[in-house]
């Protein structure tokens, strides 16, 4: 693990949204979407990010590809902070960091054919200027993702969900990226199609040595594809460790509750349920203490007032909880 090169270094990434008040003169409220997120992504690995809806997973992904401008913090790509870059410099980096979105139905322009859709990024970034070689490359890309020459001239509505997601992946690959941020790429697909697309992701990673940041809310999908997993709760990372370890030895109370809520694998399996009382607190307004404090059964006075930082428990297993701080 140690020899691996860090490709993306995120430090104290914070994103706040201002919510305008309807009343005249009242100060806008602040929604804390991401708070002090720090992590490393190693070259060639898949980092899974998991959490419930509204916990900031997608905001995090969008901050990485600069679709959102973070309020504070830094994102270093191969040693270079990409947050302060000018437009021209940014363009080069955007080539190397691509994104695959969740909904395969709305992320493709309905008026472009599959071939044109894959060519589009190459035109935008002027990587292939010759038209013939461009369409040849587009065909090659479509073939790598499992589509064929007969699909080149079809429009998005003629494809099924799984095929559209393949076009999206081909588009992302068109610029030879090193890092792909996948925001729930399989959650809109059926199980049998989902399995095909997951296998495709794995195969492409082996073929091109890609690095993925894979965002999902499905624990079994994340487990299947990731080398390491980060668990988010209310805009913070509460635990981060190797995929196998997470399921064998979850530490944070939230992780445990999350794991216990997964439906069983067989009708014979009985799981001990750890129930979290109440609902996820609102991310609007001032945030004080551990975000889980109101729902956690181990909550102490200190948890309500102080935010625990991520501390290493050995072998890269980091957890943000006072329960594990001194040991």
Partner 1 sequence: MSKELLTVENLKTYFFTASGVSKAVDGVSFTLEKGQTMGIVGESGSGKSVSASSIIRLLPKIGKIVDGKIEFEGKDILKLGKKELLNFRGKDIAVIFQDPMTSLDPVFKIGNQMVEMICAHQDISKKEARAIAVEALKKVGIPQPEKRMDSYPYELSGGMCQRVIIAMAVCCKPKMIIADEPTTALDVTVQAQVLELLQELQKEMNTSILLITHNLGVVWKMCDTVMVMYAGKTVEYAAAETLYRNPMHPYTWGLLDSMPKLSDKVKEELKTIPGTPPDLRLTGTGCNFCNRCPYAEEKCRAEVPPLVEIEKGHFIACHRQNKTEKLARGEGKKNG
Nearer of residues 101 and 212 to partner 1, judged by Cβ = 212
Cα(76)–Cα(315) distance, rounded to whole angstroms? 23
Q: Which is nearer to partner 1, 148 or 279 (CB)?
A: 279
Please give, one letter per residue, the 3-state secondary structure of the chain. CCCCCEEEEEEEEEEEEEECCCCCCCCCEEEEEEEEEEEEEECCCEEEEECCCCCCHHHHHHHHCCCCCCCEEEEEECCEECCCCCHHHHHHHHHHEEEECCCCCCCCCCCCCHHHHHHHHHHHCCCCCCHHHHHHHHHHHHHHCCCCHHHCCCCHHHCCHHHHHHHHHHHHHCCCCCEEEEECCCCCCCHHHHHHHHHHHHHHHHHHCCEEEEEECCHHHHHHHCCEEEEEECCEEEEEEEHHHHHHCCCCHHHHHHHHCCCCCCCCCCCCCCCCCCCCCCCECCCCCCCCCCCCCCCCHHHHHCCCCCEECCCCCEECCHHHCCC
**Would you count residue 249 as binding partner 1 (CB under 8 A)?**
no
Binding range to partner 1, per CB under 8 A, among 14-22, 148-156, 269-277, 301-309? 269-277
- Closest CB 203 distance from partner 1, rounded Å: 9
- Would you tell me the crossing angle of helices 114-124 and 161-173 to the nearest 10 degrees? 20
Return the range that interacts with partner 1 (CB under 8 A); candidates 27-35, 134-142, 166-174, 255-263: 255-263
Q: Is 190 in the site for partner 1 (CB under 8 A)?
A: yes
CB 105, min distance to partner 1, A: 12
Give the interface segment with partner 1, choosing from 7-15, 63-71, 75-83, 270-278 (CB under 8 A).
270-278
Which CB, 94 or 164, lies closer to partner 1?
Answer: 164
Task: Note whether 31 binds partner 1 by CB under 8 A.
Answer: no
Site for partner 1 in 210-239 (CB under 8 A): 217, 219-221, 223-227
Stretch that binds partner 1, among 12-20, 69-77, 177-185, 265-273 (CB under 8 A): 265-273
Nearest distance, CB of residue 187 and partner 1, angstroms = 10
Q: Is 248 in the site for partner 1 (CB under 8 A)?
A: no
Q: Does 244 bind partner 1 (CB under 8 A)?
A: yes
Number of residues that bind partner 1 (CB under 8 A): 44
Choosing from 30, 90, 93, 198, the residue that interacts with partner 1 (CB under 8 A) is 198
| Contact letters for partner 1, residues 271-310 (x by CB under 8 A) | --x-xx--xx------------------------------
Rounded Cα gap, residues 281 and 212, in angstroms: 30
Judged by CB under 8 A, the chain residues 100 through 159 that form the site for partner 1 are none
97 closest CA partner among 7, 224, 216? 7
Tell me which residues touch partner 1 (CB under 8 A). Answer: 52-53, 160, 162-163, 190-196, 198-199, 202, 217, 219-221, 223-227, 243-244, 247, 257-258, 260-269, 273, 275-276, 279-280
């Amino acid at each position: 693990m140690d020899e691996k090169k860090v490709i993306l270094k995120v430090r104290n990434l914070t994103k706040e949204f201002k919510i305008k008040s309807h009343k005249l003169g009242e100060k806008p409220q602040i929604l804390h979407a991401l708070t002090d997120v720090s992590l490393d992504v190693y070259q060639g690995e898949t980092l899974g990010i998991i959490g419930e809806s509204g916990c900031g997973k997608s905001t995090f992904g969008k901050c990485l590809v600069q679709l959102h401008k973070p309020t504070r913090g830094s994102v270093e790509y191969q040693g270079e902070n990409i947050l302060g870059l000018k437009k021209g410099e940014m363009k080069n980096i955007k080539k190397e960091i691509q994104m695959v979105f969740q909904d395969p139905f709305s992320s493709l322009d309905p008026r472009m054919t599959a071939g044109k859709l894959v060519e589009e990024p190459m035109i935008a970034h002027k990587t292939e200027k010759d038209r013939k070689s461009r369409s040849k490359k587009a065909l090659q890309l479509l073939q790598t993702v499992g589509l064929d020459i007969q699909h080149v001239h079809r429009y998005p509505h003629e494809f099924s969900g799984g095929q559209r997601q393949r076009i999206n992946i081909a588009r992302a690959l068109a610029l030879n990226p090193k890092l792909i941020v996948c925001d729930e790429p399989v959650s809109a697909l059926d199980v049998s199609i989902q399995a095909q697309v997951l296998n495709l992701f794995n195969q492409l990673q082996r073929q091109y040595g890609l690095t993925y940041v894979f965002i999902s809310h499905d624990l079994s999908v994340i487990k299947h594809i990731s080398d390491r997993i980060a668990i988010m709760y209310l805009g913070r990372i509460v635990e981060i460790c190797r995929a196998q370890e997470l399921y064998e030895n979850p530490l944070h109370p939230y992780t445990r509750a999350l794991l216990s809520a997964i439906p069983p694998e067989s009708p014979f399996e009985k799981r001990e349920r750890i129930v979290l009382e109440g609902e996820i607190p609102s991310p609007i307004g001032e945030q004080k203490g551990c975000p889980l404090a109101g729902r956690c059964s181990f909550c102490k006075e200190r948890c309500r007032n102080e935010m625990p930082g991520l501390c290493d428990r050995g072998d890269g297993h980091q957890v943000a909880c006072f329960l594990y701080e001194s040991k």
